[in-house]
Structure 1
Amino acid sequence: MKTAIGVLASLILIAVVSVIVVLHRNPGSISLPVLGPECVVGAEGEVTMDLTQMANAATIAAVGVRRDMPEQAVVVALATALQESKLENLDGGDRDSVGLFQQRPSKGWGTVEQIKDPRYAAGKFYTALKKVKGWENMRVTDAAQKVQRSAYPNAYEKWADEARVLTSALLGKSTGSVACRVTGTPALRGAAAASAVMAGLKLDWGKKLGSTSPEAAGLTVSVSNASSGWRYAHWLVSHASATGLERVRFADLEWHAQDGKWQQVTTAGDHDSSRVVAEVFA
Protein backbone atom coordinates (compact mmCIF):
# COMPACT_ATOMS: atom_id res chain seq x y z
CA MET A 1 0.00 0.00 0.00
CA LYS A 2 2.81 2.40 0.96
CA THR A 3 4.58 1.60 -2.31
CA ALA A 4 1.46 2.44 -4.34
CA ILE A 5 0.99 5.76 -2.51
CA GLY A 6 4.66 6.58 -3.06
CA VAL A 7 4.39 5.89 -6.78
CA LEU A 8 1.25 8.04 -7.07
CA ALA A 9 2.89 10.92 -5.21
CA SER A 10 5.93 10.69 -7.49
CA LEU A 11 3.75 10.77 -10.63
CA ILE A 12 1.90 13.84 -9.38
CA LEU A 13 5.16 15.58 -8.57
CA ILE A 14 6.56 14.78 -12.03
CA ALA A 15 3.41 16.12 -13.70
CA VAL A 16 3.52 19.38 -11.73
CA VAL A 17 7.24 19.88 -12.43
CA SER A 18 6.67 19.17 -16.14
CA VAL A 19 3.96 21.85 -16.38
CA ILE A 20 6.18 24.37 -14.60
CA VAL A 21 9.08 23.62 -16.96
CA VAL A 22 6.90 23.95 -20.06
CA LEU A 23 5.44 27.23 -18.83
CA HIS A 24 8.92 28.54 -18.09
CA ARG A 25 10.16 27.67 -21.56
CA ASN A 26 6.98 28.78 -23.37
CA PRO A 27 5.33 31.56 -21.37
CA GLY A 28 1.77 32.17 -22.52
CA SER A 29 1.66 28.98 -24.61
CA ILE A 30 -0.62 27.04 -22.27
CA SER A 31 -4.01 28.02 -20.91
CA LEU A 32 -4.53 26.22 -17.61
CA PRO A 33 -8.13 25.28 -16.79
CA VAL A 34 -10.05 27.54 -14.42
CA LEU A 35 -10.53 25.73 -11.14
CA GLY A 36 -13.89 25.86 -9.43
CA PRO A 37 -17.39 26.65 -10.73
CA GLU A 38 -17.91 29.25 -13.45
CA CYS A 39 -21.03 30.66 -11.77
CA VAL A 40 -21.88 31.10 -8.11
CA VAL A 41 -25.39 32.12 -7.07
CA GLY A 42 -25.71 33.36 -3.51
CA ALA A 43 -29.18 34.25 -2.19
CA GLU A 44 -29.92 32.84 1.29
CA GLY A 45 -27.91 29.81 0.24
CA GLU A 46 -25.41 29.04 -2.51
CA VAL A 47 -25.64 27.19 -5.81
CA THR A 48 -22.76 26.60 -8.23
CA MET A 49 -23.06 25.70 -11.90
CA ASP A 50 -21.47 26.18 -15.28
CA LEU A 51 -22.22 28.94 -17.77
CA THR A 52 -24.61 26.86 -19.89
CA GLN A 53 -26.67 25.78 -16.88
CA MET A 54 -26.82 29.35 -15.63
CA ALA A 55 -28.06 30.70 -18.96
CA ASN A 56 -30.79 28.05 -19.11
CA ALA A 57 -31.87 28.79 -15.54
CA ALA A 58 -32.11 32.51 -16.33
CA THR A 59 -34.24 31.83 -19.40
CA ILE A 60 -36.63 29.57 -17.47
CA ALA A 61 -37.07 32.27 -14.82
CA ALA A 62 -37.58 35.03 -17.41
CA VAL A 63 -40.24 33.04 -19.25
CA GLY A 64 -42.04 32.56 -15.95
CA VAL A 65 -42.07 36.31 -15.33
CA ARG A 66 -43.17 37.00 -18.90
CA ARG A 67 -46.12 34.66 -18.40
CA ASP A 68 -47.06 36.27 -15.07
CA MET A 69 -46.40 33.04 -13.19
CA PRO A 70 -45.88 33.38 -9.42
CA GLU A 71 -42.51 32.84 -7.77
CA GLN A 72 -43.38 29.30 -6.69
CA ALA A 73 -43.96 28.32 -10.32
CA VAL A 74 -40.37 29.31 -11.15
CA VAL A 75 -39.16 27.24 -8.19
CA VAL A 76 -41.07 24.20 -9.46
CA ALA A 77 -39.83 24.71 -13.03
CA LEU A 78 -36.19 25.03 -12.00
CA ALA A 79 -36.36 22.03 -9.65
CA THR A 80 -37.88 20.00 -12.48
CA ALA A 81 -35.20 21.01 -14.99
CA LEU A 82 -32.46 20.32 -12.44
CA GLN A 83 -33.76 16.79 -11.94
CA GLU A 84 -34.56 16.02 -15.57
CA SER A 85 -31.47 17.43 -17.28
CA LYS A 86 -29.25 19.20 -14.71
CA LEU A 87 -30.25 22.32 -16.67
CA GLU A 88 -28.54 21.02 -19.81
CA ASN A 89 -30.47 21.16 -23.09
CA LEU A 90 -30.11 17.45 -23.83
CA ASP A 91 -30.37 15.97 -27.32
CA GLY A 92 -31.95 12.78 -25.97
CA GLY A 93 -32.96 10.80 -22.92
CA ASP A 94 -35.40 8.11 -21.92
CA ARG A 95 -37.24 6.95 -25.05
CA ASP A 96 -37.91 10.10 -27.12
CA SER A 97 -37.37 12.63 -24.33
CA VAL A 98 -35.35 15.76 -25.20
CA GLY A 99 -34.46 19.14 -23.82
CA LEU A 100 -34.35 20.81 -20.43
CA PHE A 101 -37.52 19.17 -19.13
CA GLN A 102 -37.11 15.90 -21.06
CA GLN A 103 -40.42 16.45 -22.80
CA ARG A 104 -41.54 13.86 -25.33
CA PRO A 105 -42.77 14.64 -28.85
CA SER A 106 -44.83 11.44 -28.80
CA LYS A 107 -46.77 12.78 -25.81
CA GLY A 108 -47.76 16.01 -27.50
CA TRP A 109 -45.17 18.39 -26.10
CA GLY A 110 -44.15 19.55 -29.57
CA THR A 111 -41.60 18.68 -32.22
CA VAL A 112 -38.00 17.91 -31.31
CA GLU A 113 -36.95 21.27 -32.75
CA GLN A 114 -39.53 23.10 -30.65
CA ILE A 115 -38.71 21.30 -27.41
CA LYS A 116 -35.01 21.97 -27.93
CA ASP A 117 -35.77 25.69 -27.72
CA PRO A 118 -35.45 26.50 -23.97
CA ARG A 119 -38.05 29.27 -24.21
CA TYR A 120 -40.60 27.02 -25.86
CA ALA A 121 -39.92 24.17 -23.43
CA ALA A 122 -40.24 26.43 -20.39
CA GLY A 123 -43.45 27.93 -21.74
CA LYS A 124 -44.99 24.50 -22.27
CA PHE A 125 -44.04 23.49 -18.74
CA TYR A 126 -45.67 26.57 -17.23
CA THR A 127 -48.80 26.05 -19.34
CA ALA A 128 -49.11 22.48 -18.06
CA LEU A 129 -48.41 23.49 -14.45
CA LYS A 130 -51.07 26.19 -14.56
CA LYS A 131 -53.66 23.52 -15.41
CA VAL A 132 -52.88 21.51 -12.25
CA LYS A 133 -55.54 22.31 -9.68
CA GLY A 134 -54.05 23.49 -6.40
CA TRP A 135 -50.43 23.21 -7.50
CA GLU A 136 -49.55 26.36 -5.52
CA ASN A 137 -50.16 24.57 -2.24
CA MET A 138 -48.37 21.34 -3.15
CA ARG A 139 -44.84 20.32 -2.32
CA VAL A 140 -42.43 21.13 -5.13
CA THR A 141 -42.05 17.48 -6.04
CA ASP A 142 -45.81 16.85 -6.10
CA ALA A 143 -46.48 19.83 -8.37
CA ALA A 144 -43.65 18.79 -10.68
CA GLN A 145 -44.87 15.20 -10.79
CA LYS A 146 -48.37 16.28 -11.84
CA VAL A 147 -46.77 17.72 -14.97
CA GLN A 148 -43.97 15.25 -15.61
CA ARG A 149 -45.52 11.93 -14.55
CA SER A 150 -42.09 10.53 -13.75
CA ALA A 151 -41.25 7.01 -12.65
CA TYR A 152 -39.51 8.69 -9.69
CA PRO A 153 -42.18 11.04 -8.30
CA ASN A 154 -40.22 12.17 -5.24
CA ALA A 155 -36.96 12.94 -7.07
CA TYR A 156 -37.77 16.62 -7.64
CA GLU A 157 -37.85 17.50 -3.95
CA LYS A 158 -34.10 17.16 -3.52
CA TRP A 159 -33.65 20.15 -5.83
CA ALA A 160 -36.17 22.40 -4.07
CA ASP A 161 -33.62 24.33 -2.00
CA GLU A 162 -31.32 24.94 -4.97
CA ALA A 163 -34.33 26.05 -7.04
CA ARG A 164 -35.35 28.56 -4.37
CA VAL A 165 -31.86 30.07 -4.29
CA LEU A 166 -31.84 30.43 -8.08
CA THR A 167 -35.35 31.85 -8.12
CA SER A 168 -34.58 34.47 -5.49
CA ALA A 169 -31.61 35.69 -7.50
CA LEU A 170 -33.16 35.51 -10.96
CA LEU A 171 -36.37 37.27 -9.90
CA GLY A 172 -34.32 40.15 -8.53
CA LYS A 173 -35.01 39.59 -4.85
CA SER A 174 -31.30 39.67 -3.98
CA THR A 175 -28.50 42.06 -4.90
CA GLY A 176 -25.46 41.15 -6.99
CA SER A 177 -26.06 37.46 -6.37
CA VAL A 178 -25.34 35.91 -9.79
CA ALA A 179 -21.59 35.97 -10.34
CA CYS A 180 -20.17 34.23 -13.41
CA ARG A 181 -16.57 34.27 -14.56
CA VAL A 182 -16.18 34.31 -18.35
CA THR A 183 -12.66 33.72 -19.62
CA GLY A 184 -11.04 33.15 -23.01
CA THR A 185 -11.85 34.81 -26.31
CA PRO A 186 -15.27 36.53 -26.33
CA ALA A 187 -17.91 34.71 -28.37
CA LEU A 188 -18.84 37.98 -30.08
CA ARG A 189 -17.61 41.56 -30.13
CA GLY A 190 -18.87 45.02 -30.92
CA ALA A 191 -22.12 45.44 -32.83
CA ALA A 192 -22.63 41.69 -33.22
CA ALA A 193 -22.36 41.21 -29.44
CA ALA A 194 -24.73 44.11 -28.72
CA SER A 195 -27.26 42.70 -31.21
CA ALA A 196 -27.06 39.26 -29.58
CA VAL A 197 -27.70 40.73 -26.14
CA MET A 198 -30.68 42.71 -27.38
CA ALA A 199 -32.15 39.75 -29.25
CA GLY A 200 -31.84 37.46 -26.23
CA LEU A 201 -33.48 40.00 -23.92
CA LYS A 202 -36.43 40.45 -26.25
CA LEU A 203 -36.92 36.71 -26.77
CA ASP A 204 -36.84 35.89 -23.05
CA TRP A 205 -38.68 38.88 -21.59
CA GLY A 206 -41.04 39.90 -24.40
CA LYS A 207 -43.37 42.76 -23.42
CA LYS A 208 -42.10 42.62 -19.84
CA LEU A 209 -38.80 44.10 -21.00
CA GLY A 210 -38.29 47.73 -20.05
CA SER A 211 -37.43 50.24 -22.74
CA THR A 212 -34.01 49.57 -24.19
CA SER A 213 -31.52 51.94 -25.78
CA PRO A 214 -28.58 50.88 -27.94
CA GLU A 215 -25.27 52.39 -26.92
CA ALA A 216 -21.93 52.58 -28.71
CA ALA A 217 -20.52 49.81 -26.52
CA GLY A 218 -23.71 47.88 -25.69
CA LEU A 219 -27.16 48.84 -24.43
CA THR A 220 -29.18 50.07 -21.47
CA VAL A 221 -32.46 48.82 -20.03
CA SER A 222 -34.71 51.24 -18.14
CA VAL A 223 -36.15 49.90 -14.88
CA SER A 224 -38.81 51.07 -12.46
CA ASN A 225 -37.41 49.57 -9.27
CA ALA A 226 -34.47 47.67 -7.80
CA SER A 227 -36.11 44.27 -8.20
CA SER A 228 -36.63 44.63 -11.94
CA GLY A 229 -33.13 46.06 -12.26
CA TRP A 230 -31.56 43.03 -10.65
CA ARG A 231 -33.71 40.70 -12.75
CA TYR A 232 -32.15 42.10 -15.90
CA ALA A 233 -28.67 42.47 -14.42
CA HIS A 234 -28.60 38.84 -13.30
CA TRP A 235 -30.04 37.68 -16.64
CA LEU A 236 -27.30 39.57 -18.47
CA VAL A 237 -24.54 38.02 -16.38
CA SER A 238 -26.10 34.57 -16.84
CA HIS A 239 -26.01 34.97 -20.64
CA ALA A 240 -22.68 36.79 -20.84
CA SER A 241 -20.67 33.88 -22.21
CA ALA A 242 -22.70 33.50 -25.41
CA THR A 243 -23.25 37.20 -26.04
CA GLY A 244 -19.83 38.77 -25.54
CA LEU A 245 -20.69 40.88 -22.51
CA GLU A 246 -17.75 42.46 -20.72
CA ARG A 247 -19.44 44.52 -18.02
CA VAL A 248 -22.85 44.97 -16.36
CA ARG A 249 -23.64 47.89 -14.09
CA PHE A 250 -26.66 48.64 -11.92
CA ALA A 251 -27.09 51.01 -8.98
CA ASP A 252 -23.77 51.12 -7.15
CA LEU A 253 -22.43 47.75 -8.30
CA GLU A 254 -20.77 46.49 -11.45
CA TRP A 255 -19.74 43.07 -12.73
CA HIS A 256 -16.73 42.29 -14.95
CA ALA A 257 -16.51 39.15 -17.06
CA GLN A 258 -12.91 38.23 -16.41
CA ASP A 259 -12.99 38.37 -12.61
CA GLY A 260 -16.65 37.38 -12.37
CA LYS A 261 -17.40 39.50 -9.32
CA TRP A 262 -19.75 42.32 -8.40
CA GLN A 263 -17.83 45.30 -7.04
CA GLN A 264 -18.63 48.82 -5.93
CA VAL A 265 -18.79 51.39 -8.72
CA THR A 266 -15.92 53.76 -8.06
CA THR A 267 -17.14 56.73 -10.12
CA ALA A 268 -19.94 58.63 -8.40
CA GLY A 269 -21.53 59.66 -11.69
CA ASP A 270 -21.98 56.02 -12.68
CA HIS A 271 -24.37 55.27 -9.80
CA ASP A 272 -27.74 54.86 -11.49
CA SER A 273 -30.76 52.94 -10.20
CA SER A 274 -33.00 53.83 -13.13
CA ARG A 275 -31.25 51.71 -15.74
CA VAL A 276 -29.09 48.62 -16.20
CA VAL A 277 -26.03 49.21 -18.37
CA ALA A 278 -24.53 46.37 -20.41
CA GLU A 279 -21.19 46.81 -22.17
CA VAL A 280 -19.78 44.34 -24.71
CA PHE A 281 -16.20 43.58 -25.73
CA ALA A 282 -15.02 46.00 -28.41
Structure 2
Amino acid sequence: MTVDRHDPAGRVAAHHRAGSGTVRIGYPIDVREVRVVARRRLTPRMVRLTLGGPALAGFHTYQADDHVKLVFPDPDGTRRDPVPDGRGMLDWPRPLPTTRKYTVRRYDPAACEIDLDFVLHDGGVASAWADAAAVGDGVTIAGPPGAKAFPHSYDHYVFAVDATALPAVARWLEESPADVSAHVVAEVDDPAERDYPLAHRDGVAVTWLVRAATGSTLAQQVGSLRLPAGRAFLFAAGEANDIRPLRAWSAGRLDSLITGYWKRGVAGLED
Protein backbone atom coordinates (compact mmCIF):
# COMPACT_ATOMS: atom_id res chain seq x y z
CA MET A 1 0.00 0.00 0.00
CA THR A 2 1.34 3.43 -0.98
CA VAL A 3 1.15 6.08 1.76
CA ASP A 4 0.96 9.75 0.81
CA ARG A 5 3.77 11.45 2.74
CA HIS A 6 3.84 14.87 1.05
CA ASP A 7 3.31 18.13 3.03
CA PRO A 8 2.44 16.45 6.35
CA ALA A 9 2.59 19.73 8.29
CA GLY A 10 0.01 21.38 6.05
CA ARG A 11 -2.26 18.34 5.94
CA VAL A 12 -2.27 17.82 9.72
CA ALA A 13 -2.90 21.54 10.31
CA ALA A 14 -5.82 21.48 7.84
CA HIS A 15 -7.35 18.50 9.61
CA HIS A 16 -6.92 20.18 12.99
CA ARG A 17 -8.81 23.21 11.67
CA ALA A 18 -11.66 21.68 9.74
CA GLY A 19 -11.44 17.89 9.60
CA SER A 20 -13.73 15.20 10.94
CA GLY A 21 -12.81 12.12 12.95
CA THR A 22 -9.36 10.57 12.96
CA VAL A 23 -7.21 10.31 9.84
CA ARG A 24 -3.78 8.83 9.30
CA ILE A 25 -1.30 11.21 7.68
CA GLY A 26 2.07 9.80 6.77
CA TYR A 27 5.38 11.56 7.37
CA PRO A 28 8.64 10.98 5.51
CA ILE A 29 10.31 8.50 7.86
CA ASP A 30 13.98 8.83 8.72
CA VAL A 31 16.48 7.28 11.12
CA ARG A 32 18.67 9.55 13.22
CA GLU A 33 21.63 9.33 15.56
CA VAL A 34 21.12 11.63 18.55
CA ARG A 35 22.65 12.18 21.97
CA VAL A 36 21.30 12.84 25.44
CA VAL A 37 21.79 16.56 26.11
CA ALA A 38 19.81 16.83 29.37
CA ARG A 39 17.90 14.71 31.88
CA ARG A 40 15.29 15.70 34.43
CA ARG A 41 13.42 13.62 37.00
CA LEU A 42 9.74 14.57 36.69
CA THR A 43 8.37 12.23 39.35
CA PRO A 44 9.95 9.36 41.32
CA ARG A 45 8.81 7.04 38.49
CA MET A 46 9.34 9.20 35.40
CA VAL A 47 12.41 10.77 33.82
CA ARG A 48 12.62 13.18 30.89
CA LEU A 49 15.52 12.84 28.48
CA THR A 50 16.25 15.65 26.05
CA LEU A 51 17.83 14.26 22.89
CA GLY A 52 19.61 16.52 20.48
CA GLY A 53 21.92 16.86 17.53
CA PRO A 54 22.06 18.16 13.97
CA ALA A 55 20.31 15.02 12.69
CA LEU A 56 17.07 16.41 14.17
CA ALA A 57 16.94 19.21 11.59
CA GLY A 58 13.82 18.68 9.52
CA PHE A 59 12.23 16.34 12.08
CA HIS A 60 8.50 15.81 11.42
CA THR A 61 6.03 15.89 14.33
CA TYR A 62 2.66 17.66 14.14
CA GLN A 63 0.32 15.64 16.38
CA ALA A 64 0.48 15.45 20.18
CA ASP A 65 0.77 11.66 20.34
CA ASP A 66 3.41 11.22 17.61
CA HIS A 67 6.02 8.64 18.53
CA VAL A 68 9.53 7.57 17.65
CA LYS A 69 11.09 4.15 18.00
CA LEU A 70 14.28 3.81 20.00
CA VAL A 71 16.45 1.21 18.29
CA PHE A 72 18.65 -0.79 20.65
CA PRO A 73 21.77 -2.83 19.83
CA ASP A 74 21.87 -6.59 20.12
CA PRO A 75 23.05 -8.05 23.44
CA ASP A 76 26.58 -8.37 22.03
CA GLY A 77 26.60 -4.69 21.09
CA THR A 78 26.02 -5.19 17.36
CA ARG A 79 23.98 -2.38 15.80
CA ARG A 80 21.42 -3.34 13.17
CA ASP A 81 19.70 -0.04 12.51
CA PRO A 82 17.17 0.50 9.72
CA VAL A 83 18.18 2.52 6.66
CA PRO A 84 16.13 4.90 4.47
CA ASP A 85 14.73 3.22 1.36
CA GLY A 86 14.67 6.38 -0.78
CA ARG A 87 10.85 6.46 -0.83
CA GLY A 88 10.21 8.09 2.54
CA MET A 89 10.26 4.81 4.48
CA LEU A 90 12.80 2.53 6.15
CA ASP A 91 14.26 -0.86 5.34
CA TRP A 92 14.53 -2.90 8.55
CA PRO A 93 16.95 -5.80 9.03
CA ARG A 94 15.67 -9.30 9.81
CA PRO A 95 15.32 -10.43 12.45
CA LEU A 96 14.14 -7.07 13.72
CA PRO A 97 16.27 -5.28 16.30
CA THR A 98 14.80 -4.50 19.71
CA THR A 99 12.78 -1.28 19.60
CA ARG A 100 10.44 0.61 21.91
CA LYS A 101 8.00 3.43 21.09
CA TYR A 102 7.96 6.74 22.96
CA THR A 103 5.83 9.85 22.53
CA VAL A 104 7.53 13.01 21.33
CA ARG A 105 6.72 15.33 24.23
CA ARG A 106 8.40 18.37 22.64
CA TYR A 107 10.30 19.27 19.50
CA ASP A 108 12.41 22.42 19.32
CA PRO A 109 13.45 22.91 15.68
CA ALA A 110 15.75 25.83 16.49
CA ALA A 111 17.72 23.84 19.06
CA CYS A 112 17.35 20.51 17.21
CA GLU A 113 16.04 18.83 20.36
CA ILE A 114 13.21 16.50 21.36
CA ASP A 115 11.98 15.49 24.80
CA LEU A 116 10.97 11.91 25.62
CA ASP A 117 9.42 10.98 28.98
CA PHE A 118 10.08 7.47 30.33
CA VAL A 119 8.06 5.62 32.95
CA LEU A 120 10.62 3.74 35.04
CA HIS A 121 9.83 0.12 35.89
CA ASP A 122 11.66 -3.12 36.51
CA GLY A 123 12.56 -5.31 33.57
CA GLY A 124 12.02 -2.80 30.76
CA VAL A 125 14.69 -2.45 28.08
CA ALA A 126 13.98 1.24 27.42
CA SER A 127 13.29 1.98 31.09
CA ALA A 128 16.66 0.53 32.13
CA TRP A 129 18.42 2.48 29.38
CA ALA A 130 16.71 5.76 30.33
CA ASP A 131 17.39 5.30 34.04
CA ALA A 132 21.12 4.86 33.37
CA ALA A 133 21.52 7.25 30.41
CA ALA A 134 23.96 10.10 30.96
CA VAL A 135 24.46 13.34 29.07
CA GLY A 136 26.51 12.51 25.99
CA ASP A 137 25.17 8.98 25.53
CA GLY A 138 24.00 8.19 22.01
CA VAL A 139 20.88 6.44 20.76
CA THR A 140 19.24 5.72 17.40
CA ILE A 141 15.67 6.86 16.79
CA ALA A 142 13.37 6.03 13.87
CA GLY A 143 10.29 8.00 12.88
CA PRO A 144 7.79 9.35 13.61
CA PRO A 145 5.95 7.40 10.91
CA GLY A 146 2.96 9.75 10.79
CA ALA A 147 0.02 11.19 12.66
CA LYS A 148 -3.31 9.85 13.79
CA ALA A 149 -4.72 13.35 13.54
CA PHE A 150 -8.00 14.48 15.07
CA PRO A 151 -9.54 17.96 14.84
CA HIS A 152 -9.20 20.82 17.32
CA SER A 153 -12.80 21.80 16.60
CA TYR A 154 -14.82 19.48 18.84
CA ASP A 155 -16.94 21.09 21.55
CA HIS A 156 -15.48 18.85 24.24
CA TYR A 157 -12.71 16.28 24.68
CA VAL A 158 -12.25 13.37 27.06
CA PHE A 159 -8.77 12.00 27.75
CA ALA A 160 -8.56 8.62 29.48
CA VAL A 161 -4.92 7.74 30.09
CA ASP A 162 -2.37 6.11 32.33
CA ALA A 163 1.15 7.38 33.03
CA THR A 164 2.49 6.24 29.65
CA ALA A 165 0.12 8.60 27.81
CA LEU A 166 0.62 11.66 30.02
CA PRO A 167 3.23 13.11 27.60
CA ALA A 168 0.65 13.09 24.78
CA VAL A 169 -1.94 14.82 26.99
CA ALA A 170 0.60 17.39 28.18
CA ARG A 171 1.63 18.27 24.64
CA TRP A 172 -2.01 18.43 23.48
CA LEU A 173 -2.89 20.84 26.30
CA GLU A 174 -0.09 23.15 25.17
CA GLU A 175 -1.00 23.00 21.46
CA SER A 176 -4.83 23.02 21.57
CA PRO A 177 -6.99 26.16 21.19
CA ALA A 178 -7.15 28.59 24.10
CA ASP A 179 -10.88 28.03 24.71
CA VAL A 180 -10.72 24.22 24.72
CA SER A 181 -13.10 22.22 26.92
CA ALA A 182 -11.93 18.85 28.22
CA HIS A 183 -11.98 16.23 30.95
CA VAL A 184 -8.66 14.51 31.65
CA VAL A 185 -8.89 11.31 33.68
CA ALA A 186 -5.43 9.95 34.48
CA GLU A 187 -4.80 6.72 36.37
CA VAL A 188 -1.36 6.19 37.88
CA ASP A 189 0.23 3.47 39.99
CA ASP A 190 1.66 5.75 42.66
CA PRO A 191 0.28 8.98 44.20
CA ALA A 192 3.62 10.69 43.50
CA GLU A 193 2.95 10.41 39.77
CA ARG A 194 0.24 13.05 40.14
CA ASP A 195 3.10 15.57 40.17
CA TYR A 196 3.62 15.06 36.44
CA PRO A 197 3.47 18.59 34.94
CA LEU A 198 0.30 19.42 33.00
CA ALA A 199 -0.44 22.95 31.80
CA HIS A 200 -3.40 24.61 33.52
CA ARG A 201 -6.27 25.42 31.18
CA ASP A 202 -9.42 27.16 32.40
CA GLY A 203 -11.75 24.82 30.51
CA VAL A 204 -9.98 21.59 31.45
CA ALA A 205 -10.85 19.47 34.50
CA VAL A 206 -8.21 16.94 35.60
CA THR A 207 -9.11 13.90 37.70
CA TRP A 208 -6.31 11.76 39.12
CA LEU A 209 -6.90 8.11 40.02
CA VAL A 210 -4.50 5.78 41.80
CA ARG A 211 -4.81 2.26 40.42
CA ALA A 212 -6.18 -0.10 43.05
CA ALA A 213 -4.69 -3.50 43.81
CA THR A 214 -7.96 -4.99 42.56
CA GLY A 215 -7.55 -3.42 39.12
CA SER A 216 -8.17 -0.34 37.03
CA THR A 217 -11.14 1.98 37.58
CA LEU A 218 -10.25 4.23 34.65
CA ALA A 219 -13.00 3.09 32.29
CA GLN A 220 -15.59 3.16 35.08
CA GLN A 221 -14.66 6.73 36.01
CA VAL A 222 -14.82 7.89 32.39
CA GLY A 223 -18.19 6.19 31.94
CA SER A 224 -19.59 8.17 34.86
CA LEU A 225 -18.67 11.58 33.39
CA ARG A 226 -21.49 14.00 32.61
CA LEU A 227 -20.57 15.25 29.16
CA PRO A 228 -21.67 18.72 28.05
CA ALA A 229 -23.88 19.15 25.01
CA GLY A 230 -22.22 19.21 21.60
CA ARG A 231 -19.74 17.10 19.65
CA ALA A 232 -17.23 15.26 21.82
CA PHE A 233 -14.06 13.28 21.17
CA LEU A 234 -12.42 10.56 23.27
CA PHE A 235 -8.66 10.00 23.34
CA ALA A 236 -7.87 6.86 25.33
CA ALA A 237 -4.36 5.43 25.64
CA GLY A 238 -2.54 3.24 28.09
CA GLU A 239 -2.65 -0.40 29.16
CA ALA A 240 -4.63 -2.23 26.47
CA ASN A 241 -6.98 -4.20 28.73
CA ASP A 242 -7.69 -1.24 31.02
CA ILE A 243 -8.93 0.96 28.18
CA ARG A 244 -10.68 -1.77 26.16
CA PRO A 245 -14.13 -1.17 27.77
CA LEU A 246 -14.05 2.38 26.40
CA ARG A 247 -14.38 1.08 22.85
CA ALA A 248 -17.92 -0.10 23.56
CA TRP A 249 -18.72 2.91 25.75
CA SER A 250 -17.72 5.41 23.06
CA ALA A 251 -19.39 3.64 20.12
CA GLY A 252 -22.25 5.80 18.86
CA ARG A 253 -21.65 8.31 21.64
CA LEU A 254 -18.56 10.22 20.53
CA ASP A 255 -15.72 10.01 18.03
CA SER A 256 -12.61 8.38 19.40
CA LEU A 257 -8.96 7.40 19.10
CA ILE A 258 -8.21 4.43 21.38
CA THR A 259 -4.70 2.99 21.45
CA GLY A 260 -3.13 0.35 23.65
CA TYR A 261 0.35 1.67 24.41
CA TRP A 262 1.32 -1.46 26.32
CA LYS A 263 -0.07 -4.70 27.71
CA ARG A 264 0.79 -6.46 30.93
CA GLY A 265 3.04 -9.41 30.21
CA VAL A 266 3.75 -8.38 26.60
CA ALA A 267 7.02 -6.71 25.56
CA GLY A 268 6.93 -4.18 22.72
CA LEU A 269 3.16 -4.22 22.06
CA GLU A 270 2.18 -3.08 18.56
CA ASP A 271 -1.30 -1.49 18.42
Sort the TM-score into its range (normalised by shorter chain): under 0.3
Which structure has the bigger radius of gyration?
A: 1
TM-score scaled by structure 2?
0.26
Going by fraction, where is helix more abundant, 1 or 2? 1
Which structure has more strand as a fraction of its residues? 2
Higher relative contact order (CA 8 A, sep 6+): 2
Q: TM-score, normalised by structure 1?
A: 0.25
